[in-house]
A and B are shown apart, each in its own frame.
Chain A
Amino acid sequence: MKDDLKTISCLCCFMFFSMLLFSQQVKKEFKIVIKPVFNGEKLQQKHWYVSKTGDSIQFNTVKFYLTDFKFELANNTYHEINKSSYLIDVFNESTLFQSFEFPKNKKIKEVYFSLGVNGNLSESGALSGDLDPANGMYWAWQSGYVNIKIEGVSPSCPARKNKFTFHIGGFQEPFPTLRALRYPFNNNQKKLTLVVDIATFMDEVNLKDNHSVMIPGEEASGVANTAVKMFSLK
């Protein structure tokens, strides 16, 4: 009886370690690292920056959703990452990298993802994790996610207390604000560094005339086109 137990225990241990070894062999991991900057300078909260148009600017909040990660493989098939919705808060370091696991033998050609939350998720009720409405990125009065939130102050901004507020969202036609991003990927890379240069955004929006967008619509859709230009590969 004792011998039997020993044999079973040994067998279990062998299977466990074999599985562990096997899983490590067939999986590889790579990271997407997000690097928030202002004209190449590291972006910091409540730090003064000067835009190309000469506006002094300070940021309080810069948050956005990156979702629906998909990888095009060398054999022209796609590897989709289920439930990949990430709320990026540029002032919260823990949100600035995401890890993905892959079968080791698969070669990646391109990375696809979206800036914003898709319509299907926006119509799915109360969700959890990064999509939990308690994260403050959900509109209560008109259901849907705020895809991008940029808030701060600038003396150039004629609004109350010089505050600028961009809450960009809306998923319905004709003014959806979801924007697709796509980058080539060298299969030898272990990580992809995504630069988010907020200066690109601030240089294009004119704070004197355009400092507040808080509802879905044509204006939000236009600002989403500007926002997507912040993203580039290092």
Chain B
Amino acid sequence: MIKKITCFIGGILLLSFINLKAKKNIFTYPEYWPKPIYDVVNNPVTEDGFQLGRALFYDPRLSKDNTVSCASCHLQASGFTHIDHDLSHGIEGKIGTRNSLAIMNTAWSNSFMWDGGINHLEVQALAPLTSDVEMAETLENVVRKLDTIPFYKDLFYKAFQDSTITGQRVLLGLTQFTVMLNTYNSKYDKYIRKEVVFTDQEKNGLKLFRNHCATCHIEPLFANNEFKNNGLAVDTTLNDYGRMKITQDSKDSLKFKVPTLRNIQFTKPYMHDGRFETLQEVITHYTNGIQHSETLDEELKEAIVLTPNEKVDLLVFLHTLTDKEFLFDKRFSFPKELITQK
């Protein structure tokens, strides 16, 4: 009898432990990093919430014709961006107007999209979800679709202790996945943590980077939450003036969000319209291709001069920002359970 009671209590304790583990906040970051802008207190990231978000992220049912998922334009192996087009494409082969941004370290961003039109991580997914040239769906209809799928009822119940699916919960679930896509295990990070050493070439590249690029691409996130005109000529097939569309202020003409450089080796093509295929082209733009206009960033008004060897060193340093642990982390990959769920 005592044995039975002991087993029973043990079982309850084990279940409680498993449950507590599932409800535990799993969002972490290096202690030497700045405090995130996104406050997970309002949307605690749990294992269940993360798994819900992961399923949503990879599910094409979030698009109007069930063909395009978030992952269609945000592939893990390329730093959660696409690499096969200059401009993003959506349902029915429709082509958008901008190159998709990489999804990394999102908790440290205070605005989203190239023009910063989105002011909060939780509502970022609405933009591609409802864009006519991307997923062309409505959040109302996503809720309706998911509500008919027992697999999702179960996931929502686990994540929110309530199986009711709402627009808010879809967005909070997606956020719990995207806020976890954090990269801080590149060679650069390990060098900063004194776990590895840099070669002389990498050291020189870092020095050149700090001299010429770090005003905008601030370590450790390699971005600065600002919008800059980096001297790109206007593509007359797009006539995209960036931030000005949002602020309607001519001072913001041709300004675009400064993107992170993490995993830059794999996030091609580069710039808001994907005009550069290689990092060599990007570096050459900054040394020889700057177009002067009224809103050009102050830092770029004077030409950056680099010797051919320095350009190579800078490139070698940029490759140290590659974090393969992140790019191939199975926790962020397609959840196989999705294949069998209808």
A interface residues, Cβ below 8 angstroms from B: 122-128, 132-136, 138, 140-144, 217
Contact = CB atoms under 8 A, between A and B. Distances in A.
Contact of B42 (A122, A125, A144): A125
Contacts, number: 70
5 contacts: A125-B120, A136-B139, A141-B127, A141-B131, A142-B118
Nearest to B121: A125
B139 A134 contact: yes
Contact of B120 (A123, A135, A140, A217): A123
A127 B127 contact: no
Contacts of A143: 117-120, 123
Nearest to B128: A140
Contact of A126 (B113, B127, B143, B168): B168
Contacts of B143: 134
A128 B138 CA distance: 16
Contacts of A136: 138-140
A86 to B, nearest CB: 17
Contacts of B175: 125-126
Given A132-B167, A133-B167, A140 B126 contact: yes
A132 B172 CA distance: 11
Contact of B166 (A134, A141, A142): A134
B221 interface: no
B126 A138 contact: yes
Interface string B107-149: 0000001000111111100110111000000111011000000
Contact of B168 (A128, A142, A144): A128
B168 A132 contact: yes
B7 interface: no
Nearest to B248: A217
A175 to B, nearest CB: 8
B279 to A, nearest CB: 30
B87 interface: no
Given A134-B168, A217-B248, 8 more contacts: A122-B119, A124-B120, A125-B120, A133-B123, A138-B123, A140-B123, A142-B246, A143-B119
A138 B123 CA distance: 10
Given A123-B120, A136-B140, A143-B119, A128 B166 contact: yes
A126 B123 contact: yes
Among A124, A127, A141, the most chain B Cβ lie within 10 Å of the Cβ of: A141
A138 B117 CA distance: 13
A126 B167 contact: yes
A140 B130 contact: yes
Contacts of B248: 217
A73 to B, nearest CB: 32
- Among B113, B119, B140, B142, the most chain A Cβ lie within 10 Å of the Cβ of B119
Instruction: Give the top 9 A-B pairs by smallest Cβ distance, nearest first.
Output: A134-B167, A125-B122, A126-B171, A140-B126, A126-B122, A143-B119, A125-B120, A140-B130, A142-B117
A87 to B, nearest CB: 13
Interface string B163-198: 000111011100100000000000000000000000
A217 B247 CA distance: 9
Interface in B96-111: none
Contacts of A128: 166, 168
B119 A123 contact: yes
Contacts of A123: 119-120
A142 B127 CA distance: 8
Contacts of B139: 133-134, 136
Given A140-B126, A141-B131, A135 B119 contact: no
